[in-house]
């Protein structure tokens, strides 16, 4: 390690006094002007991680669905997965180290993680369309260069594309070609093969309106358009030419406000969807004949995909086990439908994509989605081998079903939730099953629900267990919630501390919207009084 070069470059990326940041599920995220030193230091960390695992590591500069003035950074591990939890701790230490301690912290990480400094290091870099992203990715490059790492800057890419590129590189092309063209070709080839199986293929084109959140998704869908078959007509809205990133648009806005984005004109029964700012989440929606808005969130996306995969697996191999992974935020109706009607095992884990991804890896086929529209499907190596083998065999019903499964597997980005890939999977399934958007929506009816948050003095006052569905501290709060839930039909409620700020998030569902609202309010009062609420008590 060149101490002088480190000192010199570190001085060009000084840490603001008194700023402490924490690497969470979404990496680091805050106002863009506070991130220069963090970007430089994550360049350093990516080199150390690359040396430790002797593989390419990814760095994505994005703040996803946050406002345009924010930015963030997250590291991508060798198979396109999120950074290993033990290294999240190193990221936090390095980001918060004082300038004069930087070299000592790097040496300590090398010691703790058995990093051999003489090894080669290689990093892939990507960024979103925020005004601050280009300059911040340059700070990443400075950090990589100081420690002698190699890098490839892919420039503007969606977050899932960077995850895909890292995985392709480290599997030496087994997962695909580590280029954007390779990504477009792999997905479009699989999608075209599926669409060709449709009974009505070639009749009328399939229309889809896409709200791109004024983000990177618009650029990348425009690049991908020429690869897609003529049967599919996608129209892009909020494409970044005039609006602000994530402002009154995007998947998060549509999900939270339960209404269509600005800048997209909807006619009854038109299929529409929204990406978020870095294109790793997707939600669908439509208006019915009475002009009522209907949201189709991650729970219903997971259900549609599960129905489709279950039918194919039944024809191909009865022994392959499929399961769905959800969080406590999943609507009770979706869990009930999956378990009782489809008879698919459902597992509940803590909030955060890494927890869902980890659990889904335990099954032959693991479907996971958060209600916010972030999710994908994972196929075990054994399941993949079996499906590909059967697809090669003589043309009977089993091999035909295996072939459809194989194309579906190739269309899914198994590294991470990917709005582009998920959209094509959904479009293919709707076409193959001949379903309209309202028929899909009618599979089950969501229970009315309400999300609230309560400001508290210290979020650590709340402790949870059972995948965040039960409160273990403060004393008396869970008993209080249990008693409140008993007052309503089909009711459920839970509370959990935010991972980033001193607020407690509250979720309640019940048989009517009025009851869900009332239950959420009563639970928020219990949290306020028992867990150190700040400011005025919550109002109904």
Cα–Cα distance measured from residue 429 to residue 155, given in angstroms and rounded to the nearest whole number: 32
Please state, as a whole number, how many other Cβ atoms lie within 10 Å of the Cβ of residue 195.
Answer: 21
The model carries a pTM of 0.94
Q: Which of 29, 19, 21 is nearest to 66 (CA)?
A: 29
Cα–Cα distance measured from residue 438 to residue 269, given in angstroms and rounded to the nearest whole number: 7
Q: What tokens appear for 154 in the block?
A: 């892919």
Q: Which of 21, 276, 255 is nearest to 129 (CA)?
A: 276
In a domain, 72, yes or no: yes
Residues 309, 320 contacting (CB under 8 angstroms): no
- 302 and 354 both lie in a single domain: yes
What pLDDT is attached to residue 318? 78
- Positions at the binding site for Mg(2+): 64, 276, 278, 280
Q: Answer positive or negative: Cα dihedral of 55, 61, 64, 66.
A: positive
Please state, as a whole number, how many other Cβ atoms lie within 10 Å of the Cβ of residue 185.
Answer: 15
In a domain, 195, yes or no: no
Taking 70 as the pLDDT cut, the residues of the chain under it are 200-205
Beta strands 375-379 and 365-369, pairing class: antiparallel
Instruction: Give the start-end residues of each E strand in 7-112.
Output: 28-31, 56-61, 70-76
- Positions at the binding site for substrate: 370-372, 496-500, 505
- 292 and 302 both lie in a single domain: no
Based on its alpha-carbon atoms, the radius of gyration of the chain, rounded to whole angstroms, reads 24
In a domain, 386, yes or no: yes
- 143 and 46 both lie in a single domain: yes
Q: Known catalytic residue: 64?
A: yes
Span 105-129, pLDDT tens digits: 999 999 999 999 999 999 999 999 9
In a domain, 517, yes or no: yes
- 324 and 385 both lie in a single domain: yes
What pLDDT is attached to residue 26? 86
What pLDDT is attached to residue 351? 92
- 235 and 259 both lie in a single domain: yes
3-state helix, strand, coil in the chain (%, to 5): 45, 20, 35
Cα–Cα distance measured from residue 170 to residue 79, given in angstroms and rounded to the nearest whole number: 7
Q: What tokens appear for 310 in the block?
A: 């279950």
Q: Which domain holds residue 247?
A: 205-296
Q: Answer positive or negative: Cα dihedral of 172, 176, 182, 183.
A: negative
Query: What's 510's domain CATH number?
Result: 3.30.310.50
In a domain, 291, yes or no: yes
Name the catalytic one among 64, 122, 139, 306: 64
What pLDDT is attached to residue 335? 97
Query: What's 247's domain CATH number?
Result: 3.40.120.10
- 214 and 304 both lie in a single domain: no
In a domain, 188, yes or no: no
Cα–Cα distance measured from residue 90 to residue 23, given in angstroms and rounded to the nearest whole number: 9
Residue entry with tokens 């198994």: 414
- 230 and 344 both lie in a single domain: no
What pLDDT is attached to residue 111? 97
Number of domains in the chain: 4
Q: 3-state secondary structure string, 207-253?
A: EEEEECCCCHHHHHHHHHHHHCCCCEEEEEECCCCCCCCCCCCCHHH
What pLDDT is attached to residue 266? 94
Cα–Cα distance measured from residue 462 to residue 78, given in angstroms and rounded to the nearest whole number: 35
- 322 and 281 both lie in a single domain: no
- 262 and 356 both lie in a single domain: no
Please state, as a whole number, how many other Cβ atoms lie within 10 Å of the Cβ of residue 196.
Answer: 12
- 404 and 506 both lie in a single domain: no
What pLDDT is attached to residue 115? 96
Indicate the residue among 231, 263, 296 that finishes a domain: 296
Cα–Cα distance measured from residue 235 to residue 344, given in angstroms and rounded to the nearest whole number: 35
- 58 and 102 both lie in a single domain: yes
In a domain, 56, yes or no: yes
What pLDDT is attached to residue 359? 97
What pLDDT is attached to residue 200? 66
3-state secondary structure at position 263:
coil
Span 395-408, pLDDT tens digits: 888 999 999 999 99
In a domain, 184, yes or no: no
- Positions at the binding site: 64, 276, 278, 280, 370-372, 496-500, 505
Indicate the residue among 296, 327, 348 that finishes a domain: 296
- 142 and 269 both lie in a single domain: no
What pLDDT is attached to residue 204? 62
């Amino acid at each position: 390690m060149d101490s002088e070069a480190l000192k010199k470059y570190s001085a060009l990326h000084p840490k603001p006094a008194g700023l402490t940041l924490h690497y969470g599920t979404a990496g680091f995220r805050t106002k863009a002007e506070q991130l220069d030193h963090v970007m430089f230091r994550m360049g350093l960390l990516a080199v150390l991680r690359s040396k430790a695992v002797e593989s390419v590591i990814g760095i994505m500069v994005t703040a996803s669905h946050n406002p345009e003035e924010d930015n963030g950074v997250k590291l991508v591990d060798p198979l396109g997965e999120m950074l290993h939890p033990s290294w999240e701790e190193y990221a936090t230490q390095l980001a918060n180290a004082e300038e004069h301690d930087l070299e000592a912290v790097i040496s300590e990480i090398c010691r703790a993680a058995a990093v051999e400094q003489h090894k080669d290091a290689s990093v892939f870099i990507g960024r979103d369309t925020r005004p601050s992203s280009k300059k911040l990715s340059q700070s990443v490059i400075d950090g990589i260069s100081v420690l002698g790492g190699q890098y490839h800057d892919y420039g503007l890419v969606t977050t899932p594309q960077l995850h895909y590129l890292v995985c392709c590189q480290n599997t030496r092309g087994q997962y695909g070609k580590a280029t954007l063209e390779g990504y477009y070709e792999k997905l479009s080839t699989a999608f075209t093969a599926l669409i060709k199986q449709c009974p009505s293929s070639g009749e009328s084109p399939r229309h889809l309106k896409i709200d791109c959140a004024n983000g990177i998704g618009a650029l990348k869908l425009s690049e991908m358009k020429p690869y897609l078959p003529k049967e599919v007509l996608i129209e892009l809205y909020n494409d970044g030419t005039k609006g602000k990133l994530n402002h009154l648009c995007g998947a998060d806005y549509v999900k939270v406000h339960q209404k269509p984005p600005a800048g997209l004109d909807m006619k009854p029964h038109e299929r529409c969807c929204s990406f978020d700012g870095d294109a790793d989440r997707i939600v669908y929606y439509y208006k019915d004949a009475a002009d009522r808005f209907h949201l189709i969130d991650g729970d219903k996306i997971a259900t549609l995909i599960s129905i489709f995969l279950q039918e194919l697996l039944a024809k191909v191999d009865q022994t392959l086990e499929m399961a769905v992974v959800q969080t406590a935020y999943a609507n009770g109706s979706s869990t009930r439908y999956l378990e009782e009607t489809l008879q698919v095992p459902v597992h509940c884990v803590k909030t955060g994509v890494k927890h869902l991804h980890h659990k889904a890896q335990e099954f032959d086929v693991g479907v996971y989605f958060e209600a916010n529209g972030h999710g994908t499907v994972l196929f075990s190596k054994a399941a993949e081998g079996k499906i590909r083998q059967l697809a090669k065999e003589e043309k009977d019903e089993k091999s035909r079903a295996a072939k459809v499964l194989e194309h579906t597997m190739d269309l899914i980005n198994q590294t991470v939730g990917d709005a582009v890939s998920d959209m094509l999977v959904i479009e293919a399934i709707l076409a193959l099953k001949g379903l309209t958007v309202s028929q899909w929506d009618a599979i089950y009816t969501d229970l009315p629900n309400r999300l609230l948050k309560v400001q508290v003095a210290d979020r650590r006052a709340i402790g949870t267990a059972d995948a965040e569905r039960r409160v273990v501290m403060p004393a008396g709060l869970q008993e209080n919630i249990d008693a409140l839930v008993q007052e309503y039909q089909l009711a459920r409620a839970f509370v959990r501390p935010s991972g980033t700020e001193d607020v407690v998030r509250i979720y309640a569902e019940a048989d009517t919207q009025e009851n869900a609202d009332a239950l959420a309010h009563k639970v928020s009062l219990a949290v306020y009084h028992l867990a150190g609420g700040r400011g005025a008590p919550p109002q109904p």
